[in-house]
Structure 1
Amino acid sequence: MRNTVRRRLKAICAEALPDVRTGADVVIRALPAAASADFATLRAEVVRCLERKAAA
């Protein structure tokens, strides 16, 4: 399960990377609830957080 979450987050971050401002440091921390979340839910949360903190 850990590797599944890791792969999903890696794919989501690769897709969202162009929208992150240059020089921004981003740390993604997967909590236990991420194991039961589907891809769309994880994507929505990551995008929402990036828009708030690191968007270009």
Structure 2
Amino acid sequence: MLVSMSAVLLLGLLIWFLLRIRYLRWAEVLLSGTFGFLVAKTVAAPFVTSALKGVSGFLGQLHL
């Protein structure tokens, strides 16, 4: 749950920033959000969750 909350926060901040510099329009954000909610209800949801956990685990092990 912590990984998904971090991803949601990070993606939310990215969308806010892109809206702020007028790179995205509101229609695109609503379409992307709707697509995300629909994907969460499909069979692909466990795959997406495990992929996000794998990426976050990899990034957590990096020592820069």
- Band of TM-score, shorter chain: 0.3 to 0.5
Give the helix-richer structure, 1 or 2: 2
Q: TM-score, normalised by structure 2?
A: 0.40
Q: Flag the structure with more relative contact order, 1 or 2, with Cα contacts below 8 A and sequence separation at least 6.
A: 1
Name the larger-Rg structure.
2
TM-score (norm 1): 0.44
